[in-house]
Amino acid sequence: MNASVLLIADPPQGSSGLRASVQLLSRRPLAVCAVAFLAALALVSIAAPLFAPYNPEAQDLTRVLTGPTAHNLLGTDTLGRDVLSRLIYGGRRSLLSIVEGLVVVMAIGLPLGLVAGYVGGWADRVLSRLGEMVMAIPAIVLILVVLAAVPHNEDVAMFTFGVLGTPTVMRVVRAATLQVRKDLYIKAARVSGLTHLRIVTRHVLPRVMGPIIVQASLFSAYALLFETGIAYLGLTGNPEAPTWGGMIAEASTVIEQQSWLLFPPGILIALTILALGLLGNTVRDMAVLDEVAAKPRRTTTSSSTLTPVLIDHRDARPQPLIIVSDLEVVLRNRGGSIPLVDGVSFDILHGETVGLVGESGCGKSVTALALLRLLPNALETTRGRVVWGGRDVLSMPEGEFNDLRGSKFAYVSQDPQASLDPTFTVASQLIEAIRHHERVPRAAAKHRALELLRLVEFSEPQRVGSSRAHELSGGMAQRVAIALALSGHPDLLIADEPTTALDVTVQAEILALLRRLQAETRMSVLLITHNWGVVADICDRTLVMYAGQVVEESPVQTMFDVPLHPYTRGLLQSHPSLAVAHTHLKTIPGNVPSPGGWPDGCRFAPRCPHAIAKCRDEAIPLLMAQRDRATRCIRVNEILAEVEPA
């Protein structure tokens, strides 16, 4: 056992470790500039006598306030001292102060954070509570108390500053440690009997290095801001000795004669803080990007360019409410675009309930959102038309289309509680929607809101109206969402898995409600689901989607009797409630291919028991199989013959 445990106990190749951070850093030009600037600053400050052209305290009263000249590159101050030399020497004190603060904050914050995160329990609670209290104290006043007792002692001030900064470092280290502790290899290392000290130093510390570097640079930025601040206030050291803050204080006395003096120290302080902040932000961003990059991701750019063959079998049908033709939606990312919905066409008649069925990830919800023009930012409709009342709604201006939302198209989602604004009451959301659609006075809208709540079968509409989303159960929230959707008397309700998140008994209630409302209002419904029971219950016609395409379109009853597409057959056979008793529940082998990884030819071919070589050769068009049925399968006749041997 030990051998295998020790094998697991090897930490993953430190994604947020020190070496990786340095490597990643080298790819960021701005961060490289920041590091170079800070390094140069440190070098020049430490070796000040080598770089400073003059003695920083040498006065020359014949040349005061000169401004930049060839002799004094940054000019001279009120006593004729060289500004550049004073800046260089002043950097020494600031650098020392930052280091002092940094040593203190790390020496205290790091071990406390490790203890809080690694030990947990009461130690964590006590330390966290203490940390919160220290963070609530305005640090500068406490440090002023110290400076009052030990005048002009910058070392003590920076020490105190470090102590007061520990909670932030502690919190970050704690959070990172907690994360690492959960990892398997730490548990394995514990089991294999490594000492805690060894686990922490060998395995935990290297992994929390990234957040520590971030904290160190941000703390350094604050420390410099603080140090120059108290130097400006004249609370530190010998007034003759140059400090960046002190130089600004001196400059301020002659601001009316010579404002130039403000800028060299001011800009230098700002640049240094900027560099430290930039360094911290970059390391933090890298940690995030690093995690994202660690997840495998497909960045296929090639979009399949097949043009689906449109079969116009709709001539014989009555005028539909909405016609969707050749709809394509793609995901845009840096590498290019990945199609998610690829040439989807269908129509919905007045008063008809159409089911859109398929496994997760086949493009059902994206199709629905594309109809409503509510796609997330990264998605885009790149092709196709959605004809409503003779007009293509996809090319309407947004303002005009928005008038159709709610009044022509309405929407109910699969996550009812999250679909209601958590901060407003049910009634106020309903009233806002009603007044948007009907422009009626508030009282009338309120009356109608209660009516709507009664319509969705609430016996106490008043009480429900005054509640908020978190006070409702999932089923209640979905009924409220339906009421909201009905507020504008829509012609088409698009319901995206409206019952998926609900308990079985509640599912039945919601379906019964939808069926009743549909019958009463004669609105059309596009119902997205992966549940055949729901389809059987309320749909007239079904569209089956697979890998971004419609693979079968058929009236519900005939499809249940004789599914045409092998995928539909597979789906039906794997559905528990439709399976034949005493037979094994069949499953479709393999998985839905993810967008960007769709095979050429028939997209279902890799999982299909009927697939032949020809299926893989070229894209399969949607074929008319019977008067009102279509399938995207070239072997439909063979399959039918197999099903109906007679």
Query: Is residue 433 a contact point for other proteins (CB under 8 A)?
Result: yes
Determine phi and psi for 608, rounding to 5 degrees: -95, 130
| Closer by beta carbon to other proteins, 163 or else 544 | 163
Binds other proteins (CB under 8 A): choice among 65, 108, 233, 579: 233
Binds other proteins (CB under 8 A): choice among 404, 427, 476, 615: 404
Binds other proteins (CB under 8 A): choice among 183, 380, 415, 540: 415
Which one-letter DSSP state was computed for residue 422?
A: T
Using CB under 8 A, which residues numbered 90 to 109 contact other proteins? none
Query: Is residue 150 a contact point for other proteins (CB under 8 A)?
Result: yes
Query: Is residue 274 a contact point for other proteins (CB under 8 A)?
Result: yes
Binds other proteins (CB under 8 A): choice among 13, 305, 423, 587: 423
Q: Classify the C-alpha dihedral 286-292-293-294 as positive or negative.
A: positive
Token representation of residue 555: 């009236």
Count residues contacting other proteins (CB under 8 A)?
A: 81
| Closer by beta carbon to other proteins, 145 or else 289 | 145
Looking at 250-258, 509-517, 539-547, 590-598, which segment touches other proteins (CB under 8 A)?
Answer: 250-258
Binds other proteins (CB under 8 A): choice among 70, 136, 316, 504: 136
Token representation of residue 249: 């204080």
Binds other proteins (CB under 8 A): choice among 314, 350, 468, 515: 468
Query: Is residue 487 a contact point for other proteins (CB under 8 A)?
Result: yes
* Region for 410 from its dihedrals, namely left if φ exceeds 0, alpha if ψ lies in -120 to 50, beta otherwise: beta
Given a contact cutoff of 8 angstroms between Cβ atoms, the answer to whether 347 and 314 are in contact is: yes
Give min distance, CB of 134 to other proteins, in A: 8
- Burial of 74-105, coded b for 16+ CB within 10 Å and e otherwise, reads bbbbbebbbbbbbbbbbbbbbbbbbebbbebb
| Closer by beta carbon to other proteins, 56 or else 406 | 406
Token representation of residue 1: 């056992």
Query: Is residue 229 a contact point for other proteins (CB under 8 A)?
Result: yes
DSSP secondary structure, 288-355, as one string: HHHHHHHS------PPP-PPPPP----TTSPPPSEEEEEEEEEEEETTEEEEEEEEEEEEE-TT-EEE
Binding mask 252-271 for other proteins (x = CB under 8 A): x--xx--x--x--xx--xxx
Looking at 49-57, 66-74, 190-198, 225-233, which segment touches other proteins (CB under 8 A)?
Answer: 225-233
| Closer by beta carbon to other proteins, 142 or else 579 | 142
CA–CA gap between residue 174 and residue 111 (Å, rounded): 9
Using CB under 8 A, which residues numbered 349 to 388 contact other proteins? 369, 372, 374, 376-377
Query: Is residue 144 a contact point for other proteins (CB under 8 A)?
Result: yes
Give min distance, CB of 588 to other proteins, in A: 30
Binds other proteins (CB under 8 A): choice among 202, 314, 437, 515: 437
Query: Is residue 484 a contact point for other proteins (CB under 8 A)?
Result: yes
CA distances from 603 to 360, 467, 515 (A): 15, 48, 34
CA–CA gap between residue 236 and residue 238 (Å, rounded): 7
Binding mask 275-294 for other proteins (x = CB under 8 A): --xx--x-------------
CA–CA gap between residue 520 and residue 482 (Å, rounded): 14
Token representation of residue 24: 């990643």
Query: Is residue 424 a contact point for other proteins (CB under 8 A)?
Result: yes
CA–CA gap between residue 145 and residue 489 (Å, rounded): 69
Which one-letter DSSP state was computed for residue 239?
A: T
Token representation of residue 402: 């928005």
Give min distance, CB of 510 to other proteins, in A: 16
Query: Is residue 413 a contact point for other proteins (CB under 8 A)?
Result: yes
| Closer by beta carbon to other proteins, 116 or else 420 | 420
CA–CA gap between residue 511 and residue 531 (Å, rounded): 12
Looking at 173-181, 449-457, 464-472, 626-634, which segment touches other proteins (CB under 8 A)?
Answer: 464-472
